[in-house]
């Protein structure tokens, strides 16, 4: 054994003996086992595809509102919108040129519909991957579409609550206690909204109590992410030039969406690891720990695509010999695993 491997195994033994680091390693390894980076990239892509048509709709609506209303045009020129890159430059140069377009509305609506439904579908797929739901047990298109619509309604209600909370905060007295209270209130709203969305996206077999830990962590992180985005727009993008402001906006938006996707997936992985007790995990193999085998078995079984298909998993010893534990029962003795990793009763 070389010195590097010896040091890694010493670190591995140390983290396995302590619960907090073992849980953290379990979450990180489960994220890798589920290809979390790929899932986050898909969520980011569809989120970006949904936001661009939304911005087009907003700018088109602004054109309809400003056209023929000099008082509204002056109010917009005096607002922070006039300092925003690209749109602000056009407003300052010729506010009368901003007009609405029926074609832009149609393109924006179709693009927003495609992107928003894509985000909802990918999020449902991500939750099914995280919980290792076999393909044969995953819902079809129409149930997924119904969940998507329910998700949009929940997000809209959450946006109204968040707006009401922001209004309440704006009339509160200034000072450190008020700011701390505002952050706590915002984090609480984000945590509750996250829990509601997770309940919609996660397979129904998973109890809601299993979703609480990840959402309790994700809520404050989403609050910090929102605050960071507001500061970035207020102090950096607003005073950037048109060209650099455009690139900064695109890069910043992609980065913000990717961080939001990462927070969502790590929160979901935390729920799975805590619910199934998937720790300690080994950093260096062999040998595999019991949690390693449970995860690898669940990942393999989620590839079942047909009711007639049965995936069996067996593990050999370190020398590649016979199976070091009893093999699984024959296909007729078992059904596919449930979403929480357990087997249903024998048929």
Question: Is residue 212 included in any domain, yes or no?
Answer: yes
Domain limits at 52? 34-276
Q: Do 249 and 304 belong together in one domain?
A: no
HEC sequence for 83-127: HCCCHHHHHHHCHHHCCCCHHHHHHHHHHHHHHHHHHHHHHHHHH
Kindly state the average pLDDT of the residues 64-77: 57
**Could you say which of 252, 276, 300 is where a domain stops?**
276
Q: What is the dihedral of CA 312, 317, 322, 328, to 10 degrees?
A: -20
Residues 128 and 146: their CA atoms lie apart, in Å, by 16
Q: Binning pLDDT at 50, 70 and 90, where does residue 177 land?
A: confident
Backbone angles phi, psi at 51, to 5 degrees: -75, -35
Question: Is residue 169 included in any domain, yes or no?
Answer: yes
Q: Do 197 and 109 belong together in one domain?
A: yes
Instruction: Domain count for the chain, please give it.
Output: 2
**pLDDT score at 170:** 56
pLDDT in tens, 187-207: 899 999 999 999 999 988 899
Q: Do 152 and 9 belong together in one domain?
A: no
Q: Do 200 and 312 belong together in one domain?
A: no
Q: Do 252 and 297 belong together in one domain?
A: no
Question: Is residue 347 included in any domain, yes or no?
Answer: no
**Could you say which of 228, 260, 276 is where a domain stops?**
276
Please list the alpha-helical segments (H only) found in the chain: 3-17, 19-33, 36-66, 70-77, 87-93, 102-130, 141-170, 176-201, 212-235, 242-276, 290-301
Q: Considering only 2-6, 162-166, 184-188, 317-321, which range has the smallest mean pLDDT?
A: 317-321
Residues 31 and 37: their CA atoms lie apart, in Å, by 8
Q: Do 329 and 203 belong together in one domain?
A: no
Residues 4 and 10: their CA atoms lie apart, in Å, by 10
pLDDT in tens, 279-295: 999 998 888 999 999 99
**Could you say which of 235, 259, 276 is where a domain stops?**
276
Q: Do 292 and 272 belong together in one domain?
A: no
Residues 177 and 183: their CA atoms lie apart, in Å, by 10
Question: Is residue 345 included in any domain, yes or no?
Answer: no
**pLDDT score at 47:** 92
**pLDDT score at 322:** 46
pLDDT in tens, 321-335: 444 444 444 333 444
CB 269 within 8 A of CB 36: yes
Question: Is residue 220 included in any domain, yes or no?
Answer: yes
pLDDT in tens, 202-253: 988 899 999 999 999 999 999 888 877 766 655 555 555 555 556 777 788 8
When mean pLDDT is compared over 103-112, 198-207, 335-344, the highest value belongs to 198-207
Mean pLDDT score of the chain, rounded to an integer? 80
Contacts of 331 by beta carbon, 8 Å cutoff, 6+ apart: 310, 312
Question: Is residue 342 included in any domain, yes or no?
Answer: no
**pLDDT score at 45:** 94
Question: Is residue 341 included in any domain, yes or no?
Answer: no
Contacts of 182 by beta carbon, 8 Å cutoff, 6+ apart: 169, 172
**pLDDT score at 52:** 82
Q: Do 230 and 91 belong together in one domain?
A: yes
Q: Do 15 and 138 belong together in one domain?
A: no
The structure's pTM equals 0.81
Q: Do 172 and 294 belong together in one domain?
A: no
Q: Do 209 and 285 belong together in one domain?
A: no
Q: Do 271 and 285 belong together in one domain?
A: no
Question: Is residue 153 included in any domain, yes or no?
Answer: yes
């Amino acid at each position: 054994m070389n010195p590097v491997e010896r040091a890694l195994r010493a670190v591995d033994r140390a983290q396995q003996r302590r619960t907090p680091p073992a849980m953290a390693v379990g979450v990180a390894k489960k994220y890798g086992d589920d290809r979390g980076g790929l899932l986050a990239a898909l969520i980011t892509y569809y989120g970006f595809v949904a936001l661009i048509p939304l911005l087009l709709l907003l700018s088109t609506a602004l054109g309809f509102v400003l056209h023929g209303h000099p008082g509204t045009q002056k109010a917009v020129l005096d607002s922070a919108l006039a300092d925003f890159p690209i749109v602000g430059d056009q407003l300052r140069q010729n506010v009368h040129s901003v007009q609405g377009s029926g074609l832009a509305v149609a393109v924006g609506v179709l693009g927003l519909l495609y992107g928003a439904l894509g985000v909802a579908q990918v999020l449902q797929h991500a939750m099914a991957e995280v919980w290792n739901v076999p393909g044969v047990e995953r819902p079809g298109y129409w149930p997924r579409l119904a969940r998507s619509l329910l998700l949009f309604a929940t997000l809209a209600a959450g946006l109204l609550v968040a707006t009401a909370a922001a209004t309440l905060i704006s009339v509160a007295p200034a000072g450190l206690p008020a700011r701390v209270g505002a952050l706590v209130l915002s984090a609480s709203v984000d945590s509750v909204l996250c829990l509601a969305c997770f309940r919609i996206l996660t397979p129904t077999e998973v109890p809601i109590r299993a979703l609480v830990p990840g959402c309790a962590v994700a809520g404050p992180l989403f609050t910090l992410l929102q605050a960071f985005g507001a500061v970035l727009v207020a102090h950096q993008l607003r005073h950037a030039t048109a060209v650099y402001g455009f690139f900064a906006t695109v890069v910043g938006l992609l980065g913000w969406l990717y961080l939001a996707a990462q927070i969502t997936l790590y929160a979901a992985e935390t729920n799975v690891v805590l619910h199934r007790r998937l720790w300690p995990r080994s950093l260096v193999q062999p040998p595999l720990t019991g949690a390693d085998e449970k995860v690898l078995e669940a990942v393999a079984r989620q590839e079942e695509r047909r009711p007639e298909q049965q995936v069996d998993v067996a593990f050999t010893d370190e020398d590649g010999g016979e199976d070091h534990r009893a093999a699984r029962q024959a296909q007729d003795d078992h059904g596919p695993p449930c979403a929480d990793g357990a087997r249903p009763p024998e048929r």
